[in-house]
């Protein structure tokens, strides 16, 4: 069965994310803290793949008042805090005239096959000097995948569930390597690329326009 972010996943999303994504809370904290360091509360922020609004909630609590958030699942968006952000339901880059001071895209782009076009749209929607925080699955085989599966098992996911999810993501998730991303950021025109966090199979980049 193909993986979908439906109402069943939306109901359990925060638990599911912590079981399946190493450093989930750490990366969200890193994202919000970086916004607090670099931005004014009125600066426009875009979150791509907002799910049920965990990051939106955290940004709102930190005082940010110009939040935009996109997800391709209406079931997910239905769980988001309605008044904290301007929401877009689309699989494409949102159609907005806003230029953003920050873009957050955690664990989302690996579901998009044409990443280069999407990243180019992100770049074009960013103000000069703006930053992108991007977290991605960057390994999907070998020792890294073995250790990632051990992480999930230790966090309460059964071996059967691990295999079933891996099978359901075939043809749905399209991971690329750290090297692929680094080269792509540079070719698109970003000026600075940093790795802010890494754990088995996952990498968080901070990229500056």
Taking the domains of the chain in order of start, what are their residue ranges?
A: 7-208
Q: Mean pLDDT, consecutive 10-residue segments, the chain of 209 residues?
A: 60 82 96 98 98 96 98 94 96 93 96 96 98 95 92 91 85 91 97 97 97
> What's the confidence (pLDDT) of residue 10?
62
Task: Note the pLDDT of residue 171.
Answer: 79
Task: Give me the CATH code for the 7-208 domain, please.
Answer: 3.40.50.150
List, in sequence order, the alpha helices (H) in the chain: 7-11, 13-20, 24-38, 54-61, 74-77, 115-124, 142-154, 159-168, 178-188
Q: How many CB atoms lie within 10 A of CB 87?
A: 20
Residue found by looking up tokens 């025109």 in the block: 189
User: Which is nearest to 152 in space by CA: 140, 170, 135, 165?
Assistant: 165
Q: Could you give the C-alpha distances from 161 to 6, 101, 183, in angstroms and in order?
A: 17, 39, 35
Q: What is the reported pLDDT for 142?
A: 92
């Amino acid at each position: 069965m193909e993986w979908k972010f439906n109402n069943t996943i939306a109901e359990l999303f925060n638990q599911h994310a912590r079981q399946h994504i190493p450093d989930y809370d750490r990366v969200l904290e890193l994202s919000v803290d970086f916004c607090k360091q670099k931005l004014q509360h009125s600066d426009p922020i875009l979150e791509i793949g907002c799910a049920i609004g965990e990051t939106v909630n955290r940004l709102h609590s930190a005082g940010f008042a110009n939040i935009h958030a996109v997800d391709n699942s209406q079931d997910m968006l239905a769980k988001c805090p309605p008044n904290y952000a301007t929401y877009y339901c689309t699989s494409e880059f949102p159609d907005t005239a806003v230029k953003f001071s920050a873009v957050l895209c955690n664990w989302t782009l690996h579901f998009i096959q044409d990443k280069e076009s999407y990243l180019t749209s992100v770049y074009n929607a960013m103000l000069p000097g703006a930053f992108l925080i991007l977290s991605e699955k960057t390994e999907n085989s070998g020792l890294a995948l073995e250790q990632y599966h051990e992480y999930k098992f230790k966090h309460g996911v059964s071996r059967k569930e691990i295999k079933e999810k891996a099978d359901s993501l075939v043809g749905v998730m399209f991971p690329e390597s750290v090297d692929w991303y680094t080269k792509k950021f540079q070719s698109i025109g970003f000026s600075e690329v940093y790795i802010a966090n890494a754990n088995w199979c996952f990498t968080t980049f901070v990229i500056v326009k």
